[in-house]
Amino acid sequence: MAARLLRRKALTNLSAPSSSPFSKSSFSVQRLISTLVLGEHEGGSIKAQSLSAVVAAKFLGEDNSISMLLAGSGPSVQEAAIHAASCHSSISQVIVADSDKFTYPVAEPWAKLVQLIQQKGGYSHIMATSGSFGKNILPRAAALLDVSPITDVIEISGPQLFVRPIYAGNALCTVRYTGSAPCMLTVRSTSFPVPLTSANSKSDVAPISQVDPSTFGEDMVCKSKYLSHTSQDSERPDLGNARIVVTGGRALKSAENFKMIEKLAEKLGAAVGATRAAVDAGFVPNELQVGQTGKIVGPELYMAFGVSGAIQHLAGMRDSKVIVAVNKDADAPIFQVADYGLVGDLFEVIPELLEKLPEKK
Amino acid sequence: MKIMVAIKRVVDYAVKIRVKSDKSGVETSNVKMSMNPFCEIGLEEALRIKESGLASEVIAVSVGPSQCVDTLRTGLAMGADRAIHVEASATLYPLSVAKLLKALADVEKPGLLILGKQAIDDDCNQTGQMVAGLLNWPQGTFASKVVLDKEKEVATVEREVDGGLETLCLDLPAVITTDLRLNQPRYATLPNIMKAKSKVIKKFTPQELNVDIKSDLEVIQVTEPPKRKAGVIVSSVDELIDKLKNEAHVI
């Protein structure tokens, strides 16, 4: 098929010397920008979150050549590469590292891989989305490349100029990268949403190149072994990109009561969130925690029930378009950020909402 | 086995911070400072490992201005055996801190280096990963559970990740960064605070550790986030549904 021919034709021999698009010897005002995006994949396709970095990369400059780097082993990564090659028109190349060292995305071989690919490809920028994958790997890779990374970027003002939140989002810091290439950063997916249909036409498939397996040498010996992981409930919308989020706090009092939140979420087609207190109390698992050190969300509608509104929780949801708060305490800080506040008992309000809300479209 | 714990002095988590009017930063003078909550958790974990007989010594280290000594004294009061202060007055970014911690790890040769996953001032979440990369040690970040097997010389780390919990087995020596639910830190008791006064705090400078402080980042300005428009209090569920539907158009 045409795609396969294109791939074979464009197979880059990465062990041959390549002219670096970012040449240190010829410093010119208009630097060439080329970006390496670290991609995450699952079940043979690219995770939507990874594409936020691609969307963000476009803000770095007009002519930014964006390559996506994938690592895995066997058919699943090869399938993901095929998906990556056509899932976003801005991706101009897909690089695949296929080895059993990458069966599971552990940081140590991944960081070494990024270092290797950077040494061969000389990118001006290396990016990842600021999720547990990017946060775990990119700083380690930055240390190997002797670069100060900029993490959790919410705005790109120029190829070396970024804005990031500090103090739980109560202040914004504008920082300039003044080092020599590469500039390394992670971006918040809520600040760079991925448009629903960004798949390009069939004729725009990016070439896929395979990293020469002999490059995974002795220094890739892994001292970290993946053992297991709990799997997320995939029936409900993903907290990170749901249009509506319904969150419960400690006032729910028990895991059993928390089911009311889940019912309301189901009625609205929403994702379920929780405060740190609710997770600590064991009402729900940790991946539902919204906050400074949990997930950052920015849905169209955020409904908080029995949530006091601590600074650390606000950090995770203050960028929501519409915030609704229901709390018995009229002085709860949450009412200071809520667009609509209802002072009342959630044990009465939620059943009433369940009864009166229109069915989701 | 020695455990080294890096701790940072930050604005207390309960303080409502103010951005300086000249946009140069956040107001930190006359503001309550404390040990970073994640660092407290890291120190607590080290102490528990030592108390279980798997480690011989807990060393608290901090990088920064002279006031870091206060935070280190708190660490010693919690139970650390000794402390190291790397004195540096300039703003240090994670890469420099990581290089300094690597230099100390090369000297002390701990079996575990524990850090908080992020500092609540800059929220970077980088230093642990960076020092692990520089040391070429395995890393267990965002740890919610750590179990050491001294015989096999491994640490089994359960981590909080986007999809739930992930478990890794790391060969020692290793770097671990702590997440909130790893433990509940102890309070320093008064007798321990008194004892801490006589514990040793060794001082180093970056030059003595042969670390070149690199500066490849520049803070241009610090501003307040955009303010939200004031909201309204509604009086009933009916009114709420009406507003959400007809005013906000979100349902």
> Is A243 within 8 Å of A299 (Cβ atoms)?
yes
Is the pLDDT assigned to residue A12 strictly greater than 80? Answer: no
Is the pLDDT assigned to residue A255 strictly greater than 90? Answer: yes
Residue that is written with structure tokens 């010829």 in the block? A26
Is the pLDDT assigned to residue A177 strictly greater than 90? Answer: yes
What is the share, in percent, of chain A residues with pLDDT greater than 70?
A: 87
Which residues are registered as beta bridge partners of A172? A165, B223
Here the ipTM equals 0.96
Is the pLDDT assigned to residue A336 strictly greater than 80? Answer: yes
Q: How confident is the model at residue A26 (pLDDT cuts 50, 70, 90)?
A: very low
Is the CB of B131 less than 8 angstroms away from the CB of A179? no
Element (H, E) at B105: helix B94-108
> Is A347 within 8 Å of A326 (Cβ atoms)?
no
Distance CA B124, CA A286 (A): 21
Is the CB of B130 less than 8 angstroms away from the CB of A301? no
B16, B19, B240 member nearest A324 (Cβ): B240
Is the pLDDT assigned to residue A11 strictly greater than 70? Answer: no
Q: What is the mean pLDDT of each run of 10 residues along chain B (251 residues)?
A: 97 95 94 97 98 97 95 96 93 94 98 97 97 97 96 96 94 97 94 90 96 91 92 94 93 88
Is the pLDDT assigned to residue A256 strictly greater than 60? Answer: yes
Please give the average per-residue pLDDT across A222-238, as a whole number. Answer: 83
Is the pLDDT assigned to residue A18 strictly greater than 50? Answer: no
Enter the DSSP assignment of A181.
Answer: S
For B137, name the nearest residue in chain A, comparing CA atoms only: A223
> Is B196 within 8 Å of B134 (Cβ atoms)?
no
pLDDT digits (tens, 9 = 90+) for A190-210: 999 988 765 555 557 899 999
**What pLDDT does residue B1 have?**
96
What are the tokens at B107?
């000297």
From chain B, the residues in CB contact with A143 under 8 A are: 95, 98, 129-134
For B184, name the nearest residue in chain A, comparing CA atoms only: A280
Backbone angles phi and psi of A302, in degrees to 5 = -120, 120
pLDDT digits (tens, 9 = 90+) for A338-357: 999 999 999 999 999 999 99
Distance CA B56, CA A18 (A): 51
pLDDT digits (tens, 9 = 90+) for A84-142: 999 988 999 999 999 999 999 999 999 999 999 999 999 999 999 999 999 999 999 99
Distance CA B74, CA A195 (A): 49
Nearest-CA neighbor of A184 among B11, B78, B147, B129?
B129
Distance CA A345, CA A29 (A): 61
Query: Angle of helix B37-51 relative to helix B68-78, nearest 10 degrees?
Result: 30
**What pLDDT does residue A234 have?**
67
pLDDT digits (tens, 9 = 90+) for A32-57: 899 999 999 999 999 999 999 999 99
Is the pLDDT assigned to residue A235 strictly greater than 90? Answer: no
A143, A171, A341 member nearest B224 (Cβ): A171
Mean pLDDT of chain A: 88
> Is B211 within 8 Å of B103 (Cβ atoms)?
yes
**What pLDDT does residue B229 have?**
86
From chain A, the residues in CB contact with B95 under 8 A are: 142-143, 146-148
Neighbour count for residue A321 (Cβ, 10 Å): 13
| Interface subset of B 128-147, CB within 8 angstroms of A | 129-134, 137-142, 144
- Report chain A's C-alpha Rg in angstroms: 22
From chain B, the residues in CB contact with A107 under 8 A are: 129, 132, 139, 141
pLDDT higher at A251 or A240:
A251
Is the CB of B238 less than 8 angstroms away from the CB of A356? yes
Please give the average per-residue pLDDT across A260-266, as a whole number. Answer: 95
pTM: 0.90
* Burial (0-12, 13-18, 19+ Cβ within 10 Å), B246: exposed
What are the tokens at A192?
């760079």
Amino acid sitting at position A303:
M
Distance CA A147, CA A157 (A): 20
Is the pLDDT assigned to residue A25 strictly greater than 50? Answer: no
Is the pLDDT assigned to residue A228 strictly greater than 70? Answer: yes
Concatenate the DSSP letters of all residues of A284-315 into one string: S-GGGBBSTTSB----SEEEEES----HHHHH
With the C-alpha atoms ordered A24, A29, A30, A36, is the resulting torsion angle positive or negative? positive
